[in-house]
Structure 1
Amino acid sequence: MAMELEAIPLPPLDLRPNHVSTKTSVDKGDSEGAPSAAPAGSSHTVNISAPEPIVPEQTRKQVILDHLQFIAACWAIVLAGWNDGSTGPLLPRIQQVYDVSYTIVSLLFVCACVGFVVGALLNVPLSERLGYGKLMALGSAFQAIAYAIDAAALPFPVLCIGYAINGVGMAVLVAQSIGYVAFLKDKARMGILNAVYGLGALVAPLVSTQFAQMNRWSFHYLVSLGLAVICLVLQIVILRFKTFDECMTRIGRPIQQKGPSTDSNLKQIFRIRAVHVLSVFVLIYVGVEVTMGGWIVSYIIDERNGGPSSGYISSGFFGGLMIGRLLLLWVNEKVGEWLVIFIYSLLAIGLELVVWLVPSLIGNAVAISIVGVVLGPFFPIAMNQAARILPAWLLTPAIGWISGLGRRAALCFLSSRVRLRRVRV
Structure 2
Amino acid sequence: MSNAMELEQMTRPTARQNYTGSTKGSVEGGDTEVGPATGASSTVEGGQGTPPAERTRKMVMTDHLQFFAACWSMVLAGWNDGTTGPLLPRIQQVYHVNYAVVSLLFVCACIGFISGALINVPLSERLGFGKLMALGSALQTIAYAIDSPAPPFPVLCVAYAINGVGMAIQDAQANGYVASLKDNSEAKMGFLHAAYGLGALAAPLVSTQFSQKKHWSFHYLTSMGVGLSSVIIQIAVFRFRTHDECLLRIGLPVQEKGSSTESNFKQIFRLKNMHILAVFILVYVGVEVTIGGWIVSYVIDERGGGPDSGYISSGFFAGLMLGRLVLLWVNAKVIVRVRNSIALLMSLPQIGEWLALFIYALLAIGLELVVWLVPSLIGGGVAVSLVGLLLGPFYPIAMNQAARILPAWLLTPSIGWIAGFGQAGSAVLPFITGALAQSTGIGSLQPFLVSMMGFMMVLWAMVPRKATHMD
TM-score of the two chains, using structure 1 as the length reference = 0.89
Partner in structure 2 of residue 67 of structure 1: 64
Rounded to whole Å, the distance in 1 between the matches of 2:161 and 2:152 is 15
Residue 192 to residue 55, structure 1, CA distance change in 2 (3 Å): farther
**What's the CA shift for 1:414?**
1.6
**What's the CA shift for 1:258?**
1.1
* 2:25–2:32 contact (8 Å) kept in structure 1: no
1:359 and 2:351 equivalent? no
* 2:23–2:33 contact (8 Å) kept in structure 1: no
* 1:123–1:172 contact (8 Å) kept in structure 2: yes
Pairing partner for 2:18 from 24, 27, 36: 24
**What's the CA shift for 1:127?**
0.4
**What's the CA shift for 1:103?**
0.7
Local SS of the residue matching 1:387: helix
**What's the CA shift for 1:63?**
1.1
Rounded to whole Å, the distance in 2 between the matches of 1:284 and 1:105 is 21
* 1:24–1:49 contact (8 Å) kept in structure 2: no
Residue 263 to residue 360, structure 1, CA distance change in 2 (3 Å): same
**What's the CA shift for 1:132?**
0.5
Same amino acid, percent of matched pairs: 65
Rounded to whole Å, the distance in 2 between the matches of 1:282 and 1:404 is 10
Local SS of the residue matching 1:139: helix
Q: How is 1:218-257 mapped onto 2 (pairs within 5 angstroms)?
A: 218-257=217-256
RMSD (Å), alpha carbons: 2.5
Pairing partner for 2:131 from 131, 134, 157: 134
Aligned residues: 399
Partner in structure 1 of residue 35 of structure 2: 47
Local SS of the residue matching 2:404: helix
**What's the CA shift for 1:286?**
1.2
Q: How is 1:14-413 mapped onto 2 (pairs within 5 angstroms)?
A: 24-25=18-19, 43-44=31-32, 46-48=34-36, 56-185=53-182, 186-335=185-334, 336-408=352-424, 410-413=425-428
Rounded to whole Å, the distance in 2 between the matches of 1:240 and 1:338 is 37
Local SS of the residue matching 2:34: strand
Partner in structure 2 of residue 3 of structure 1: none
Query: What per-residue deviation string (whole Å, max 9, x for no partner) do you get for residues 245-290 of structure 1?
Result: 1111111111112111111111100111110111121122111111
Q: AA paired with 2:431?
A: S
Query: What per-residue deviation string (whole Å, max 9, x for no partner) do you get for residues 297-316 of structure 1?
Result: 11111111111100000000
**What's the CA shift for 1:393?**
3.3
Query: What per-residue deviation string (whole Å, max 9, x for no partner) do you get for residues 156-198 of structure 1?
Result: 0000111000000000111101110110041111111010100
Q: AA paired with 1:399?
A: I
Query: What per-residue deviation string (whole Å, max 9, x for no partner) do you get for residues 10-45 of structure 1?
Result: xxxxxxxxx89965359xxxxxx9998769xx7445
Query: What per-residue deviation string (whole Å, max 9, x for no partner) do you get for residues 207-227 of structure 1?
Result: 000000011111100011011
**What's the CA shift for 1:390?**
2.2
* 2:51–2:248 contact (8 Å) kept in structure 1: no
* 2:360–2:390 contact (8 Å) kept in structure 1: yes
Query: What per-residue deviation string (whole Å, max 9, x for no partner) do you get for residues 285-343 of structure 1?
Result: 11111111111011111111111100000000000000011000021122211111111
Residue 312 to residue 133, structure 1, CA distance change in 2 (3 Å): same
TM-score of the two chains, using structure 2 as the length reference = 0.80
Local SS of the residue matching 1:325: helix
Q: AA paired with 2:429?
A: L
Rounded to whole Å, the distance in 2 between the matches of 1:174 and 1:20 is 23
Query: What per-residue deviation string (whole Å, max 9, x for no partner) do you get for residues 57-110 of structure 1?
Result: 211111111111111101000000000000000000111111111111001111
Rounded to whole Å, the distance in 1 between the matches of 2:373 and 2:175 is 37
Partner in structure 1 of residue 343 of structure 2: none
Rounded to whole Å, the distance in 1 between the matches of 2:88 and 2:325 is 30
Residue 226 to residue 45, structure 1, CA distance change in 2 (3 Å): same
Pairing partner for 2:432 from 412, 417, 420: 417
Give the unaligned 5+ runs of structure 2. Answer: 1-12, 43-49, 335-351, 444-471
Residue 160 to residue 251, structure 1, CA distance change in 2 (3 Å): same
Rounded to whole Å, the distance in 2 between the matches of 1:21 and 1:192 is 21
Residue 257 to residue 147, structure 1, CA distance change in 2 (3 Å): same
Rounded to whole Å, the distance in 1 between the matches of 2:14 and 2:94 is 61
Give the unaligned 5+ runs of structure 1. Answer: 1-18, 27-32
Q: AA paired with 1:261?
A: S
Rounded to whole Å, the distance in 2 between the matches of 1:317 and 1:143 is 24
Higher Cα Rg: structure 1 or 2? 1
Q: AA paired with 2:287?
A: V
Partner in structure 1 of residue 447 of structure 2: none
Rounded to whole Å, the distance in 2 between the matches of 1:35 and 1:59 is 33
Local SS of the residue matching 1:238: helix
* 1:24–1:48 contact (8 Å) kept in structure 2: no
Q: AA paired with 1:421?
A: L
